[in-house]
Structure 1
Amino acid sequence: MKNRYTIKNVKEILSDDDLDTDLLAELSNDPRSGVKKLLEQYYKKQIKQQELIERFHQKEFLEKPFWDQGLTVAGVDEVGRGPLAGPVVTAAVILPSNNTLYEVDDSKKLSRTKRAELYKLICDQAIDISVAVGSPQLIDTENIYHATELTMGDSITHLYVRPDHILVDAMTIPVDISQTKLIKGDSKSLSIGAASIVAKVARDRLMTMYSKLYPEFGFERNDGYGTKEHLQALDSVGRTKIHRLSFSPVKKTNKIY
């Protein structure tokens, strides 16, 4: 008996996640090795997707009690506390309860390509997003920890929607809104994970722009961290206006770019 579908047809059919169960049963009885291989790939993909959704729901447990009462929650995170150059960047993100951001995670665990993809999805689905920048001068004046808290405060106050509660990654934000402090919150909370991605993408883009002004430092590659290339440039051409003077070895450098 001639097969009803070609291998190409089967591949197209199995690309649909919402597959009719009768059709799936029919394909399961197909003796062709090519079809069996495609079915194996399909089931593996389904299992992976289910695991992803389960992890996603686990990350909503901090937001859910607020969402169930119709309240808004802002996730807040920072990027760039450790570099020798460039600002610290913070983001505040308010997500709706019906979001489908299944792959959101701590930005450090994601590739640049995946971060860019998720950044677009977050921007499409978020109720509100705010990004704030803490300058190297603020960092030198206040110290990096307090400068980060102040910048997080800016990201909250610049939201259009005042959140009912804040979830923040291991910091205390100087605003009069109840907040939950979490260690490694970007891995535990969906909202903080989304904020970590927004902050990371924003800072990376900013450092790429700075690399055009100061090409010797390779900021588009090292994001201002003290790589060998960066330290060599610091020795040869000196510090720039975006270097943190309170950070060693910048404070030991007398030469000015």
Structure 2
Amino acid sequence: MTPRPHVLLSVAVSVDGYIDDASPQRLKLSNAADFDRVDQLRAESDAILIGAETLRRDNPRLLVNSADRRSARVAAGKPEYPLKIAVSARGDLDPELRFWQHGGDKLVYTTHAGAAKLGDRLAGLAQVVPLGVDIDLGALLDDLGRRGVARLMVEGGTRIHTQFLAADLADELQLAVAPIIVGHAAAPRFLGPAAYPERRMGLAEVSQIGDVALLRYLPRQSGDAAHDC
């Protein structure tokens, strides 16, 4: 059986667990050094995945910004940019979004119903891959493994991160905590309610990047058991 990719979840959050505020403009939680760290993670990845809601809200290009890192990828025999992946159950994706206009190859994982909407809409922009009546993330990872993707970086948003962690499909979580308090009830959080695995994650690393704290967790590796005081 072809191995599934290593799945890395990457997210920046406020101290109170939000990934954005409730304003129309995107809240920049990371600092310049942390944005550069994320660019390095992208350069090390074979593919980068984002959910439809985040795609519509943030309209990102999702690129490796460093020319040196792109050159290093090419020198190593890789495409200049990682494969870019969008996930949309309903297929409500605008072909004018910046995501489609920049970078290399793109995939969209969707349902049979979503594929019926996207086939013509994204013709020439992305390959549309229907996964069935619903989107099964395990089937998605199996398909990526068959495509030669060994390292997948997941950049959100809430629903996508929730689904990967609830399904126990994440190998690594890099959580950048910014010294900001959002406090908006309507703002999106890192995770939503779900039936998550009932165990402690392994804490692999804690580091400081300017005023940002980076926590690296291994979700499938149990941490030390809690002790009552």
Fold agreement, TM-score > 0.5: no
More strand by share: 2
More relative contact order, 1 or 2 (CA 8 Å, 6+ apart): 2
